[in-house]
Amino acid sequence: MLEDIDHVGIAVSDLDASVERYRKAFGVEPVHRETVEHQGVEEVLFKVGTSYVQLLRALGPDTPVGRFLERRGEGVHHVGYRVTDIRAALTRLRDEGLPLVDEEPRPGSRGTTVAFVHPIGLDGVLIELVQEP
């Protein structure tokens, strides 16, 4: 069911500064930048193998990432797993009794379809299922 790690999402307070830090530290260039209004974030992606590192800025304090930054500070926010059939994956997790953030898949960045699974059922880590277009 889990095909690959799609991305690791990292919450940051100053996106441009963090992007610059990654460029200088690792000699990598961003491959994608996108604002996802309905998720309240702006993201920048760096490709690492078949996966991405995703730097996330909150569009405001009253957003999921804004509240995370307020509560926990900068750091790893979620892990995205690539799946081939997101509906089947959601059904399975629901049947396993895991609390879902998203009962239905919804649009993510890069034209993907995504759904979040609550950290309470998975060792405190917010999980995002990602199906590529």
Q: How far is the CB of 109 from Co ion (least distance, A)?
A: 8
Among 45, 126, 128, 131, binds Co ion (CB under 5 A): 128
Query: Any contact of residue 42 with Co ion (CB under 5 A)?
Result: no
Stretch that binds Co ion, among 9-17, 27-35, 96-104, 116-124 (CB under 5 A): 9-17
Closest residue to Co ion using C-beta atoms: 9
- Taking the least distance from each CB to Co ion, the nearer of 29 and 56 is 56
Spatial contact of 33 and 56, defined as CB atoms under 8 Å apart: no
- Taking the least distance from each CB to Co ion, the nearer of 13 and 82 is 82
> Hey, which residues between 61 and 90 contact Co ion (CB under 5 A)?
80
Residues binding Co ion: what is the number (CB under 5 A)?
3
Rounded to whole angstroms, the Cα distance separating 61 from 11 reads 13
**Chain contacts with Co ion (rule: CB under 5 A):** 9, 80, 128
